[in-house]
Amino acid sequence: MEIVIRLDTVEPPVGSVRLLAGPDLSYRGAEAAAVGFAGWLGLLRALYEVIGSRGDRPSGK
């Protein structure tokens, strides 16, 4: 995978996440949509979104 994280501010982080190459190694390049985020929580959620896996339920539940 190839993910680009662009930070406009660092703490808390604000910016966007783009998935350039997915798990299947397909290159998306300019087609990759940017997912904006704000805060560490937002960053995590953005990563889950672009990766397509977010562990809907904690395994301990």
Partner 1 sequence: MAAASPVAGLHGRAVETRALGEALALLASGRQAIILVEGEAGIGKTRLLTNTLDDARDRGFQVSFGRGEELERTRPFGVVAGALECARSSPDPRRAAIASLLTTHGLAAQGPITVTSDPGLQFRAVDAFVDLVEELALHAPLVIGLDDLQWADPSSLLTISGLARRLTGLPLALICCFRPSPRVPQLERAVDALQAAGAWQLTLRQLTQDAVTALVSEAVGAEPGPGLLRELAGAGGNPLFVTELLSAMRQEGLLQTTDGRAEVAAMTLPPTLRLTILRGLSFLPEETLQALRSASILGGSFTLTELSTSTARPALSLSVVLAEAIAAGVLADDGTRLRFRHDLIRDAIYEDLPGSVRLALHREAGERLADAGAPAAQVAEHLARGAVSGDASAIEWLARAAREAATRSPDVAADLLGRAISLMDPNDPARDRLLAEQAGSLMWAGRVTDSERACRAILNRAHDPAADGPARTCLGLALLAGGHPSDAVRELDRAGEAPLLTDAERAKVLGWASLARLWLGDLDGAATLARRALSAATAAGDELATSIALGSSSEIAEFRGHLDEACRLIDEALRRADQTPGRQGHRYPLHADRGFILTELDRLDEAAAALRTGRRICEDLGLGWPLPSYHMAAAVERYFVGEWDDAIAEVEASIEWADETGMRRWVVLSHSVLSLIKLHRNDIAGAVSAAETAAGVLAATGTPYLSQWAPWARALTLEAEGRPADAFAALAQACDECAAIGAMIEYRVLGPDLVRLALAVGDSSRARDVSVSVAELAARNDVPSLTGAALRCRGLLDGDADTLQAAVSAYGRSPRPLELALTCEDAGAAFARRGQVDRARPLLEQAVEIYERLDAARDLARTEAVLRAAGIRRGRRGARRRPQHGWSSLTPTEQTVARLVAEGLSNPQIGDRLYVSRRTVQTHLAHVFTKLDISARSQLAAETARHH
Residues near partner 1 (CB under 8 A): 9, 12, 14, 38-42, 44-45, 48, 54-61
| Shortest Å distance, C-beta 50 to partner 1 | 14
Q: For the CB of residue 27, give the shortest distance to partner 1 in the complex, in Å.
A: 28
* Nearest CA-CA partner of 20 in 10, 39, 6: 6
Instruction: Name the E strands within 2-43.
Output: 2-9, 14-21, 35-38
What gap in Å lies between CA 50 and CA 25, rounded to an integer?
A: 14
Smaller CB separation from partner 1, 29 or 36: 36
For the CB of residue 29, give the shortest distance to partner 1 in the complex, in Å: 28
